Amino acid sequence: MKTQRNADIVLGCLFALFGILIIYASTMITSGTPHKLPPKTFPMVVGILLLICGSALAVKSWSIREADLAIKWPDREGVRTILVVLASITGYILLLNPLGLPIASFLYIAFSIWYLKRSKWLLAIVISAVTAAISYFLFIRLLALSFPAGPFLE
């Protein structure tokens, strides 16, 4: 039987493994020009956080010995939602270089908020605009990371 505890253990282990792979891949990033922070800093931090959070989830779930919730596989609507989310992430990755981080993030977040929460477009646009502005000023201006700024901001 598939239970929430088993799912959390497997997911935690997968996140930890993914974190290890990201940490390893980030050690191979080289930079020819000097930056305030080297380009491998952000993926290294993300990998470390994934490793810590995944390990913590797996250990916590492993140690819990309470009554467990049975989980069901997603129905047709759930599978469609998963496929749409995966397609939107793929679109975000494909649009990142030509449109830049702020615009691609704006489009991805606006769509995701609207689609997953079924929220109104105005709320999705406001949250997306704030997130795009913060990502631009934090990652491109302040930290000077090598994310594409986009055709309108370069």
Q: Which residue has the tokens 């990998």?
A: 47
List own/partner pairs for 71-76 with CB under 8 A and 24 or more apart. 71/2, 71/3, 71/4, 71/7, 72/2, 73/2
CA 42, 46, 52 angle in degrees (round to 5)?
145
Same domain, 150 and 81: yes
Counting the structural domains of the chain, the total is 2
Same domain, 89 and 57: no
What whole-number percentage of the chain has pLDDT above 90? 44
Binning pLDDT at 50, 70 and 90, where does residue 33 land?
low
pLDDT tens digits along 95-145? 998 998 899 999 999 999 888 887 778 888 999 999 999 988 888 888 777
Same domain, 80 and 65: no
Q: Tell me the pTM.
A: 0.65
Same domain, 27 and 85: no
Residue 66 phi, psi (nearest 5)? -90, 180
Which residues form the domain of 63? 1-72
Same domain, 81 and 44: no
Question: Does position 22 have pLDDT exceeding 90, yes or no?
Answer: yes
Torsion angle defined by CA atoms of residues 27, 32, 34 and 38, in that order, rounded to the nearest 10 degrees:
-20
Q: What is the pLDDT of residue 32?
A: 66
Same domain, 68 and 85: no
Same domain, 68 and 121: no
